[in-house]
A and B are shown apart, each in its own frame.
Chain A
Amino acid sequence: MNAPEHLAWLALLPLLWWLQRPPRPRRALLTAHFTQWQRARERLRRRPIRFDVLRFLLLVVAFAAAIVAATGATLPGRPGATSLVVLLDDSASLTADDGAPWRDAVARVRDTLQALPPHVSAALVRTGDDGLTVHAGTADELLAAVPAAPDGRRTLDLEAVAARLAGDPSADSRIAVWTITDGLGDAVPPRTGALSIVGAERHNVGIVGIAVADGWPLRDVAIDVRIANHGPARSVRITATGGVVATPPRELALSADGDASLRLELQRTDGGTVTVALTDAADAFPRDDTVRIELPPRTETNVGLLADVEAGPWARAAAETLADELNGRVVDAAERAGFLVVDGGIFVPPADAVPRLTFGTRDRQAP
């Protein structure tokens, strides 16, 4: 209490009571028509004059509270935390919007660490690809540990990490946990300790699923792409490049916060890496817009035929049909072929054995 002399104002409470009293009646009237008086008053929607105890009590409480506030009375403080753990979400989503959320987060960490009292120690915990990374030291050392731009993909649940860092809540823990995140990647924000969310609301669209139906050794390749939209309804373009015959981009309409699937029917060229990409100018997080698929290379068009003397004609018919599909021809085993059709006998595959289709053939490892 800094100014106890203000308590003298409490002596004015009787004056409040005197001022709050209703006006004194000029006259008392003993009437046989009390009911008629009451009805007349109720018709005019008036209330009888009486000392309002509740209003007086509220006035006294407000007056007393104002006086206590004027004296500067404060409650004794309780010992606070002696350790501050900054749980920094350094997942790549903070780079959205040209990295503004990340810069904001770093600025907050810097300001807080520089304003810490000397008796409070600080630690920095980052969540990245490698799991948790803990840094301890002075404010400058901690700031130096903050990367220029995050590029990790967080897999840890921030709430679980924060709860583990805070320790047992029933014990007299002196550890304060401060979580800084952009709020993405968690179903619910962390509830343990303090929480700061940086960055503005952003909309994301991305490829969340790929299924490949490869017709190898044929050229046909079908790619099923599943796309999730976290934002308003929009239309995106899907392209597949590299290793397949170029096709025009496909348009796909997405509902608000909905999923959609698209099948790309492609023709293999030489195989190798096929890049499936999603294009949307309004997408704030483009890192999940591209998926790469490795397709096996296209085989030789010649189909080799190995058949013993007892083999029937169907092996040759199969080889000729396959060669026709690949626009090749059936060759003997002595020539180089991209694919073998083997019928019966014992086959000892060479070191550079090509893919084969065998019928009733026993394999034997080369000595």
Chain B
Amino acid sequence: MLSTILRDAPRIRGARDLEARARRKHADHGGTFAQHRAYTHGDDLRMLDWNVYARTGELFLKQLEDDDRRTATLLIDVSPSMDAGPPRRVGALRLAAILGGLALVRLDGLRIVASDRCVALQGATAVERLLDVLATLPVRAVDPLDLAALPLQQRFLGRFGWISDFAEPDTFVTALRLLRLHGRAVTGWLPSIADDQLPNVGGVVRLLDPETGREETLVVDGELRRALEDELRMLARRQDALFRGAGYPLVRFPLPASDDYRAGAWFERRWTVRL
């Protein structure tokens, strides 16, 4: 499915100009020097600044302004809450694979930030490695502020995409404020699942919190379902307010069924990919 999407990607609105820009970049490596950045595994060795290496003995990359604009960074939430209910995590990883694959094919570079890992990928040939990286991401609770601080420490530029369930919006406020303070443009991607509206359960139900391990047994009836529906609507409003307050867009991405591998199912809305 991913190969179909990547092949059809030029037809996606908004991708053609990115492709042209990437082609120009391959033709000419020139540009305005922006900053040095420490080398990470997967970086293009052609961008190493050997003069700095001769002086300091450490590997640094020259970053050009155009180069930064043609790079995308994906922050992926791998907390246990992403594993809860219907597989939001699987959908989130598929979404990360599509967005990351498009960045590799049409742009100059991709960085994956998840948990405490930072992986840099470059070129269309790195798609297979991207899938390997996504497949081996651990399940670990990470504070959003720590996750946001990691690419800033690595001095990653370009656009940021943050894939998460934003289950506790209050914990993301400081992280988004930090990214805004450092001038990063962020797009929030929230893979939506049916449970975000109303879970289809009834009777005596045992609820488990994947983050804390707490559990409760409740009798779920119509009255409780209506009250939960109100709470979930309130959560959605808080998530929208979180990104609206930071000045960033939030994309609610309705996940196709877990066994639906049709490429059209992922792009039926013809949304614009902005990376």
Contact = CB atoms under 8 A, between A and B. Distances in A.
Interface in B199-242: 199, 201, 203-212, 214, 216-219, 223-224, 227-228, 230-232, 234-235
Interface string A35-49: 111111101101011
10 contacts: A22-B217, A26-B203, A27-B205, A29-B85, A32-B195, A33-B235, A37-B216, A40-B231, A44-B223, A49-B217
A48 B84 contact: no
B67 interface: no
Interface of A: 22-41, 43-44, 46, 48-50
A33 B227 contact: no
Contacts of A36: 228, 231-232, 234-235
Contact of B88 (A22, A32, A40): A32
- Range for the number of chain B residues in contact with chain A: 35 or more
A246 to B, nearest CB: 93
B168 A35 contact: yes
A37 B81 contact: no
A66 B34 CA distance: 87
A44 B85 contact: no
A124 B197 CA distance: 89
Given A28-B205, A36-B232, 15 more contacts: A22-B217, A25-B217, A28-B207, A28-B208, A30-B85, A31-B85, A32-B195, A32-B210, A34-B208, A34-B209, A34-B211, A36-B234, A40-B224, A49-B219, A50-B217
Contacts of B146: none
B82 interface: yes
A37 B207 contact: yes
A31 B207 contact: yes
B165 interface: yes
Contact of B204 (A24, A35, A38, A40): A24
A32 B84 contact: yes
Interface in B163-213: 165, 167-168, 195-196, 199, 201, 203-212
Given A30-B83, A33-B167, A35-B168, A25 B227 contact: no
A42 to B, nearest CB: 9
Chain B CB within 10 Å — which of A31, A39, A41, A49 has the most? A31
A25 B227 CA distance: 20
Contacts of A25: 204-206, 217
B217 A30 contact: no
A26 B205 contact: yes
